Amino acid sequence: MKCNECNDTRIRTVGCNNHAVVYTEECYCVQWEERQKEDLAIKMAEVLCSKISKEKLALTLSTMIVDKHTDEYDVHVLSSITENREASYLLNWAIV
Ligand SMILES: [Zn+2]
C-alpha cells in the first residue's frame, strides 16, 4: 500500500506556518515500520528466552557474527575482543 504522506519516497516535506521555511524529514511511515520491527524483536526475544537455552542463543549469535564479518581485519579484531572477553563490545558486532 502506497504511503499517502510521502508517496513511498520515505521523506516528507514540512513547511513552517508562514511557509517561508521548508525542510524535509523522515516520513511517519518509516517511523511506523521501525516501531513495528522493534515490537516484533521484543516479542521474538521473549519467545527465545523462554524456549531456548542461553548457550544455544549465544552460539547462534556468535555464528551470525562470524558469518557476517569475514574479512581479515574484522576477524583479527573479533579474535582480540573475544580474547579480552569484552561481551558488550562483541554484541555490537551483531548490529554493525
Ligand atoms: Zn511515508
Mean pLDDT (whole number) for 14-42:
90
pLDDT tens per residue across span 5-25: 999 999 998 887 776 788 899
Quote the pLDDT of residue 95: 86
| 62 Cα to the center of ligand 1, angstroms | 35
pLDDT tens per residue across span 56-65: 999 999 999 9
Pull the grid cell for residue 43: 516479542
| 41 Cα to the center of ligand 1, angstroms | 22
- Alpha-helical regions (H) of the chain: 28-51, 54-68, 72-83, 87-95
| 34 Cα to the center of ligand 1, angstroms | 12
